[in-house]
Amino acid sequence: MWVLDTADGPAFIEFLTARWNEIRDVILARSTQTNEAGRCAIHNLLYSEINGPITV
């Protein structure tokens, strides 16, 4: 699979353009899980009880 720093917008567009046919095949063959926020909503109650950062 590909590894790419998507923070570099022009490089990302170049990457997509150069590999579009391959990327298109992957997009058409897979589905996307779009309800991540809904599945994690219950965790927000617990996170709100933590004082300070939860990552370093």
- Give per-residue pLDDT as tens, 28-52: 998 766 666 667 777 777 777 888 7
Mean pLDDT calculated for residue range 11-19:
88
Mean pLDDT of 19-33: 87
Contacts of 23 (CB under 8 A, 6+ apart): 16
In a domain, 30, yes or no: yes
| Inside any domain, residue 1 | no
**Structural domain contains residue 18:** yes
For the chain, where are the E strands, in sequence order? none
**Structural domain span for residue 39:** 9-47
- pLDDT of 21 strictly over 90: yes
For residue 25, the model assigns a pLDDT of: 92
Domain count, the chain: 1
| Residue 38 forms part of a structural domain | yes
Q: What is the mean pLDDT of the chain?
A: 79
